Structure 1
Amino acid sequence: MLYAAVEATWAVTGTTVQWKEHSAYAPGVQLFLAALALLAGGACLASTRTLARISRVVVAMALITALPVFVVGMNGLPIYFVTITTLSGVESATGLAQVLLNTAGAALLLLVGLSYRRRLRGDCPRCGRPHGGAADGPLAHPAASRAPRRTRVAVYLLMCGLLPWAGTKTVWTLGGDALGVAGDDWQRMSVASASGPSKATASAGIDVTVLAAMVGIFLLLGLLYVWGQVFPRWTVVLSGRRVPRLLPLIPAWLTGIPLTMYGVALLIIAPLMAAGVLPKIEPDPPFTTSAGITWFAEFGGLAFGGLGIGLVVAARSYSARTRPVCASATATAHRDCLRNPSPSGTLPGTTRPASGRQQDDS
């Protein structure tokens, strides 16, 4: 309702809401988004009730239709995050508000959809396991574990997509020439267009976007290894305590999904421009050739797409490995095990931990 009210107010008052550079939302689009938000809100309320089959299908279709729209609307979140953290200024306050509203809407719709799917399957809407009793009791958290080897290898390969983009920017910041761009021209324009801390880092020959990518890599490693679930010793006060599950998951999902969309778009557009299917971008200083811009766009697609997909893959593994279970579900499993013990001596629905290499892949 809040989202719909804001969109309708902007449409009626003719407020400019930036969608991308030099583009704004049309009033008709804003009214459509307001109507879609009301539809999604009604579906969320209906998802908690006992419904007939046709009503369940309608609710599911409403959630499935609305969620991608909100996800696409949060595409500019990483860009705003970088500009805010570097104190470079926000280009459009209404554009930032729109992205935040879409982000909140996408996150809430995703949680409602997940809970609704579990409820339809007869599972606990909170932990996803079938059990009796209420779904608001204490939770049992699994032991800390690192991601399976296949997941780690996949994420490392995706991280390699950062190398051409970060390497080119590093060459420029060190004064070298690449892709038809002179290092001196790049440094001069970077310092002139930067502000706040980003201006200081640019003056020191450090690109702030490369630093942001390093933060993304740090988050990736935390999602893959045990120290992302239990605070390591170097955190001093927090050492040995369990990391709140949503602390790494929220930034991973909110950053990984928009980066994936942005990176994949660049990976598609750059080859089309090189093949002449799409018009080539006219060189704009410090670039001197259209080919240089096209190659840099391709490098950006590899970097942003690789980092975004890596965050999504790592976050999915982290979410599965750290998902808590209602204590009542654990108690039910123990009772079932005592009544019907399995030959292997393990709880129903579980497997005996393997050793060595098999344990790492389990």
Structure 2
Amino acid sequence: MSGYKRPLVISMGDPAGIGPEVIAKAWQALHTGPTPFCVLGDPALFRSIPTQLITQVSDSLAVFKDSLPILHGFETPGVVVGQPDPAHAEVVLRAIKQGVDLVLSGQARALVTAPIAKSVLMAAGFRHPGHTEFLGALLEAAPFEQTRGPVMMLAVDGLRVVPVTIHCALSEVPLRLTQEAIIHAARVTSEALTRDLGVKSPRLVVAALNPHAGEDGAFGDEESRIIAPAVSALQAMGLSVRGPLPADSLFHAEARATFDAAICMYHDQALIPLKALDFWGGVNATLGLPIIRTSPDHGTGFDIAGRGLARPESMIAAIQMAATMAEGRSNS
């Protein structure tokens, strides 16, 4: 099947969370448009909309306009909405794994993952920090011609950010920050911007770690010892990179217009400006993989699950970005 005739696949995430709700609302918003998708999940969780059980992904194309296609085989009996249960971990992980396989085999264009609860999965034996690392492990042996990730990019309209360190205590960030990690994140980001998002000559900025970019060593030496040498190495590779730049002046409108992505040193340095700019519409994209994968930039929302309160903007944006990236990769 040609690219535009292949659907996306969406893994349902934790069945007790808001994943099924935002997927259903996304289908309601998109079912008459050009981006068909099917769900790897339990049809019992989607009773608010018309659904159609299918046995192969290609069947999505015939039914998507009138009903949400759900691939057979991902039932999660006993779900109590809002109450996560490790008993469902096997199905949650199997949905992700099958989604990866469907994209690798060419049956689907891209994978969109609804939120998982890492603590719930870990209680059932899951040993990865999150989706990003799990996908990296699943795809470790798959052929890929560019610099391999996984690297996490968060995006909203007008801003893309890539944290070099992700899920760790703030006190651990200086210990985990290395020249190699910065160079790797920037290379993967630059290649993905070109290959998947059509940015011909990506412009990157690299944030400093310390206030005032260290103030010539007065507030720390990570800038001179780690970050600046990494920037110089990237420039020597031919990449358009500036930094280290003080993070407090990096994200206002005029500054954002000068770069295509910001390489940030830690989680909140990247996420705070992104969520301040657009709290509801953020997308998490995993770069440097043999497949396209995006996800809404929010959690499982167990506290509001089943109450009709979950907003679908982030899921809709994740679906649309996955389609854009898949199209870009097919044309590269």
Q: Same fold (TM over 0.5)?
A: no
The structure that has the greater radius of gyration is: 1
Larger proportion of strand = 2
Q: 1 or 2, which has the higher helix percentage?
A: 1
TM-score normalized by structure 1? 0.28
